[in-house]
Structure 1
Amino acid sequence: MALWPGKRLGLLLAGTLLAGFSTLPLFAQTETTAPLQAAPQQAPAADEVAPVADPGQPPADDAATSQSDLAAVEASMSLSQKRIDELKAEIAAMDGDSTKQNAALIAAAQRVKLAEIEVADVETRLSDLIVQELEVRGRLDGSNAEIANVLAALERISLNPPPALIVDPDDALGSARSAILIAAIVPQLRDKADQVTADLSKLTAIKAAALDEEATLQANHAVLEEEQLRIATLIAARKQGIGVRTAQLEAEQQQAIALAARASSLKELVDSLSAQVSSVSTAAAAADASIDPDQPVMTPQAIQLALADTARTEPAVPFGVAKGYLAMPANGVNVLDYGASDGYGGISHGISLVTRAEAQVVAPADGWVLYKGPYLNYGQIIILNTGQGYTALLAGLDTVTVDIGQFVQMGMPLGTMGSRTIGRTVTTNAGAAQPTLYIELRQDNKPVDPTGWWATPTQSG
């Protein structure tokens, strides 16, 4: 039996839709390659105090610890053994050259920061594509229901069609009504078919864009893996080169640990550590004593040139001159400004950044490590003496890779964040699911508003 034109069009349209849906992959159900994250850590309660190292215990062997850390990093890598060996050979060729090692560390840290930014951007774009896909699928689901209703009407007409005029002229009215109905339905079906075709094309384009973004994401994760391995290898090589710690550094570390065990507040800890500087760290004390109010103003070019010297063993420029040039310690979103309510009845003396899991943390400025390790419920903290009576505090880290007494250059890796917020003092309204880095600057142990101290992307690049 011959099919009516309306039925033929409907069946053809239905077949096209079914074919389109059956061959199109479901992007929303595909898996995205992402690095494994460490299990969440339990943040200490408000009334709990995190343990600090026992001042009576001797420090662990740094070289052995760094080699163990390096082995753990290697085990977690998906890089080929050939590439791992190439990286080790590249670093071994530096043969203890601290200038080259410092330059390589800072360059690797910069590449990590750029890769982290790109990963965050790609993840945002992927989220947008998922939203677009769901919107298109919603429209297609609605089109299915409308087309089903129209096809049902056409099916009823085909089961009981009006007779042709040449057979029964008396039924001309019914034939005319059917013709009018078909004439009204067919253009609507054609428009709907065009809309469905456009949505199917858009869905295909979304899938292609998502696959491109996933490839970019995997490439950036590969960069992160390689640079993290390079950093771990460089740190291990540097500590191997240092060899046995000097008696002065041993004493400095023991005193810092003892001071941290006794201090009941950050202010008290910074006071104690700063007082220790003049008697223990000659270079740091000299940097503080070299404040000259009549010194000539340095040009931006002179500042950049001084900061580019990776052989330096003391701050490239006086800290006050470095305003506008400091490196932001980590990539993240500022969720708590200086002077804002800290949520515990006080005001924030620093800023808080929500970072991605296991984000890298770098030195915001040149300086000596006054303290590193756990303190109260701040998680792992690092306090830098940056000269001229200034200190920089970073809190909320998960791991720290520098040592007390060590001089670090701006942009050099200091450690990494964890997989969630550590410590109630750095918990923000972002919740405990995201790691939060607390950053504080002090001058003569008084909080300083860090606004305006950070370099622009063009300066820090």
Structure 2
Amino acid sequence: MTLRAGLFLLALLAAPLQSAADPAGAARTAAAQLEGASVQLQEAGSSRDRVKALTATVQAFEAGLAAMRDGLRRVARREAQLSAQLAARQEEVSGLLGIIQTIETSPPPVLMVHPSGPLGAARSAMMLAEVTPALHARAQSLKADLDEVQSLRLLQQNAARTLEEGLAGVQSARVQLSTAIADRTTLPKRFTADPVRTAILISSTETLSGFADGLAEIAGGDIAGTSADITELRGTLPLPVEGLLLRGYGERDAAGIARPGLLIAARPRALVTAPAAATIRYRGPLLDLGNVVILEPQPDTLFVLSGLAEVFGEAGQVIPAGTPVGLMSGENPKPDAILSLSGEGGGTDRTETLYIEVRMDNSPVDPETWFRTGKGG
């Protein structure tokens, strides 16, 4: 290889690599989040308000696991990018190594000989003096890339244990939360549901509208009045579950069916919470909607949440904003399943759906007038 070819090769190798954020740092930060959630779980048992403490713990685990998934996706993308760049430069790297090896092994008399005589030898020596530091710098850069690839692969291997501990922790927190909610007796109640009347209403109605219209009939006595008013919160309420908007109000699905509500894609077993202080008007199976929670945040306004695997609380209870009302369907993913998804785009692990309908004066309205969905912003 001539010196001119060597200089051309060096120019190719010196092309700047595509910059990227620190994916390894993101994954390590997520691991620290999961460790912090484990500490929260240990402390939740001694909290005066166990429901509140365990709710925060479950949410901390869910946030940590989501961050870990995102971090591992970034790690996988970075590792693939580096591997592809190194593979594409394999011939160039071989040439670089050949140049370095020639410089290191050629005896001084040979290096000093030049066909053009002493002047050509002097020019070659000057060019070589300029090229050698650059060759060394590029070699160091390649070594750094190789070291990063090895570090990222090791991080992915170690992530399996962190994920396993995090998944076990969030499952334990969910079980403890369900027990704590069942044991809680301090919430005020506006009415006590009559199971017989509730069963009669369910069997005699065929639509959500008909059931909502007859909700007053499920109480065993009078329903206490309320002056609750959350009108000023319209458009600012958080979604009941962390997720992505799949289908908007009135949009048709693949079967051509349009429903007057939102469909949110959520992760399996994700915690569903009350977006505002409300009365639980109904909880349980209903029609073809699966498990349903109907919340009344103010008179003549209902939030209908369907698609849950488990529902918490009792009909008639008045619950604060952020109170858990259920868990999404699905199975807890295994660490291997999460790792296998790490190279894919966001949203691939949100396999469950929550349907949200808002009814005012027993007529459906667009839920996006109440909730922040992130759509368009």
Structure 2: distance between partners of 1:173 and 1:233: 90
Q: Give 1:282's aligned amino acid.
A: D
CA gap of 1:149–1:342, structure 2 versus 1, over 3 A, is same
Counterpart Cα distance in 2 of 1:356 and 1:188: 55
In structure 1, distance between residues paired with 2:53 and 2:110: 84
Q: How many residues align?
A: 325
- Rounded to whole Å, the distance in 1 between the matches of 2:288 and 2:117 is 85
- Deviation of 1:394 after TM superposition, in Å, equals 0.6
Q: Does 1:399 align with 2:310?
A: yes
Closer, same or farther in 2 for the Cα pair 1:455/1:418, shift >3 Å?
same
Deviation at 1:392, TM superposition (A): 0.9
Unaligned runs of 5+ in 2: 4-23, 32-36, 332-346
Give the % identical residues.
25
Q: Does 1:195 align with 2:138?
A: yes
The equivalent residue for 1:128 is 74
**Distance change in 2, residues 1:144/1:178 (3 Å):** farther
The question of whether the paired residues in 1 share the 8 Å contact of 2:236 and 2:372 is answered with: yes
**Hey, what's the Cα distance between the residues in 2 that align with 1:202 and 1:188?**
21
* Residues 326, 410 of structure 1: 8 Å contact kept: no
Secondary structure in structure 1 of the residue aligned to 2:195: helix
1:283 aligns with 2:223: yes
Q: Using the TM superposition, name which of 192-201 and 134-143 deviates more.
A: 192-201
Hey, what's the Cα distance between the residues in 2 that align with 1:191 and 1:259? 82
Q: Which residue of 2 aligns with 1:143?
A: 89
AA in 2 matched with 1:447: P
Q: CA deviation at 1:186?
A: 9.5
Q: Could you state the TM-score of these two structures normalised by the residue count of structure 1?
A: 0.54
- Equivalents in 1 of 2:328, 2:248: separation in Å? 20
Given candidates 254, 258, 261, the residue that maps to 1:350 is: 261
| Greater Rg by CA | 1
Q: CA deviation at 1:398?
A: 1.4
Paired amino acid for 1:194: A
Partner residue of 2:341? Answer: none
Q: CA-to-partner distance for each residue in 1:365-413, whole Å, 9 max, x for gaps? A: 3333333223344332211233311111111111112233333222111
| Bigger RCO of structures 1 and 2 (CA < 8 A, at least 6 apart) | 1
- 2:166 pairs with 1:255: no
Secondary structure at 1:369's aligned position in 2? strand
Of 273, 276, 287, 1:365 maps to 276
Partner secondary structure for residue 398 of structure 1: strand
Question: Residues 319 and 388 of structure 1 are in contact (CA less than 8 Å); yes or no, is this contact kept in structure 2?
Answer: no
**How has the CA–CA distance of structure 1 residues 151 and 106 changed in structure 2, closer, same or farther, with 3 Å as cutoff?**
closer
Describe the SS at the equivalent of 1:451. helix
Letter in 2 for 1:276: E
Secondary structure, counterpart of 1:109 in structure 2 = helix
2:178 is equivalent to residue 232 of structure 1: yes
Partner SS for 1:283: coil
For 1:408 and 1:182, locate their aligned partners in 2 and report how far apart those are by CA, in whole Å: 82
TM-score by length of 2: 0.64
- The amino acid that maps onto 1:112 is V
Report Cα offsets for 1:187-214 as digits up to 9, x if no partner.
7786565334224325545737995995
Contact 1:352 1:438 in 2 (8 A): yes
SS of residue paired to 2:321: coil
Once the two structures are superposed, the pairs formed by residues 107-186 of structure 1 within 5 Å of their partners are 107-148=53-94
Gaps of 5+ in 1: 1-5, 7-26, 35-77, 95-100, 243-247, 291-316, 421-429
The correspondence of residues 284-433 of structure 1 with structure 2, limited to 5 A, is: 284=224, 286-287=225-226, 317-324=228-235, 326-419=237-330
Question: Deviation digits for residues 217-262 of structure 1, max 9, x if unmatched?
Answer: 78976874675355234224326x89xxxxx84x623322343344
Deviation at 1:178, TM superposition (A): 11
Q: Deviations over 1:91-119 (max 9, x none)?
A: 6xx5xxxxxx4xx4245424533553343
